[in-house]
Chains A and B, each alone.
Chain A
Amino acid sequence: MLTVQESTASLKVGDKYEKKGMSGMTSLILTYLAMLAVMSIGAKLLGADVKKFAIGFTVIFFISYACWFAGHYAYIAATKNKLAAFKIPWSLSLTGESGFIFALLAGLVVGNFFPKLSDKLKEASRPELYIKTAIVIMGAALGLKAAESFTLASNIMFRGLCAIVEAYLIYWAVVYYMARKYFKFNREWAAPLASGISICGVSAAIATGGAIRARPIVPIMVSSLVVVFAVVEMLILPFAAQTFLWKEPLVAGAWMGLAVKTDGGAVASGAITDALILAKNLEVGINYQKEWVTMTATTVKMFIDIFIGIWAFLLAYIWCAKIECKPGQKARPIEIWHRFPKFVIGYVATFFILLVLCWPATTAIGPVDKQLKALKQENAAVEKQLAAAPAREHAALQEKIKAGNDKMKSLNDSIKGPKATIAEAKTATSTSNVFRVMFFVFTFFTIGVVSNFKKLMEEGIGKLMVVYVVALFGFIIWVGLFISWLFFHGVMPPLVG
């Protein structure tokens, strides 16, 4: 057993080591306690039963962590370039993110086969809370990325906005028409169904139900179907994206945002797609930076969420003015604010704080880096020249190299401060990323727990399910793919280094 101070790079596979400082188990327990404390405060503010929440959260935390841990087993996770390092002949190359899939499957088992345990976890089974917390944490990391590659980040945002305008206008109209004309649903069912299938699952179905004054049962029924089908999509689409879209990573990310119909499902699918596509590209020697695919999926999904309020307001206005106005029904602009997803404020805040903190540093580093690159190339050329030059020219060439080195040193000194800022920001965001990943795993597990597949056996669900399946798999997924391709094809994540 070795005690390691900092780097573990010199260790071989099979070596046992212990990091100097806190042990892994202590660290895990402290992480659990810290998260339990923060989440319990959140649960209290949400009006949950804190004791029940704490018990449920404890079980969710440890099962989720076990899944995440299992997902990192080398035979499952190791990418092709790591096989030699692990001394294994093969692996599934699913990357460590396969832990997400394990968590989802574990959740499905609990939710569908252990109703008593599932009931005990109910108070803490809140996938939307976990994914929204993860998105707020992710805002900081993406703010740093945006500071480093501002053009690409603004590109993704604008294209994401374009994509969702299309999603709202084209998806909704077609699904509504299909539900009304071919499946003979009345307006009360067709409108929430169209929003649930085509826009953003649960929250859109509820917002639309409210806008047209549908009875509460309608969006509830639609929502339960949305959640179940989001799970099916999460298990299929990331792998389809890896197979067919690995050369267009951001098209795949936007596709997840447009096609998977819950916040948790879409962002989580984006994270799996990110890992799978990056692993596939690594096999052919392309090493993309992590998280751009997740960022694209999150951006698209968040724009969709932001517009739900406006969409619900428009529907309420049109319904009341042109179709049927129920007693007490009135389109009120304040509803736009009421329906506005408030977690977006948190995301925007963390995003802009990091962007504003890092922007001056990256703009200072950028031009200097270019000069340094040019000087390096110049020096390399002179060194080549030196090797072939006659002895009488050596002194002059060596002088030239020295001048180049001096200039590089002074340039490096001039950006020490900005580089330190970026290094600190990277340390902060990579530390917070640990929590983001944990919240992602909780999201997967709890999505599984709340997805009751027995709903599909319920009497009468057939008609609702057929319209859902036809719309989702026959239309939405493909139109979403087309729109994603149209706006994101050829936009590539930056390469590592």
Chain B
Amino acid sequence: MANDPKLSEELKKMEYEPLLPIEMTLIKWSLGIGITSLVVLYWVSATFFPSGH
């Protein structure tokens, strides 16, 4: 359709937004919880669902 927005135009329109401290906090928390829970869940699966470990 003629009115369909074009990706190139949409990307050109995109304004630069600096990475906010709150975004960095979100990323760090997400990774922190992810890595901590990796250790915890691995221990839980090895202890309570031992097949294969």
Contacts and interface: CB of A to CB of B under 8 A. Distances in A.
Interface of A: 151-152, 154-155, 158-159, 162, 165-166, 168-170, 172-174, 176-177, 180-181, 184-189, 217-218, 221, 318, 322-323, 458-461, 463-464, 483, 486-492
Contact of A155 (B5, B42, B49): B49
B25 to A, nearest CB: 8
7 contacts: A162-B42, A162-B45, A165-B41, A323-B23, A323-B26, A459-B8, A460-B7
A174 B30 CA distance: 9
A152 B5 contact: no
Nearest to A461: B7
Contacts of B41: 162, 165-166, 487
Q: A interface, by DSSP: helix, strand, loop or mixed?
A: helix
B5 to A, nearest CB: 5
Contacts of B42: 162, 486-487
Contacts of B8: 458-461
Contact of A464 (B11, B16, B26, B53): B11
Contacts of A177: 27
Interface in B39-53: 41-42, 44-45, 48-49, 51-53
Contacts of B20: 323
A463 B11 contact: yes
A78 to B, nearest CB: 32
Nearest to A488: B52
Given A180-B19, A186-B16, 16 more contacts: A155-B51, A162-B41, A165-B41, A169-B34, A170-B31, A173-B28, A176-B23, A186-B14, A186-B15, A322-B22, A323-B22, A323-B26, A460-B8, A483-B38, A487-B42, A489-B53
A166 B34 contact: yes
A477 B22 CA distance: 28
A322 B41 CA distance: 29
Nearest to A170: B34
Contacts of B44: 162
A483 B35 CA distance: 11
A196 B46 CA distance: 31
B19 A489 contact: no
A165 B37 contact: yes
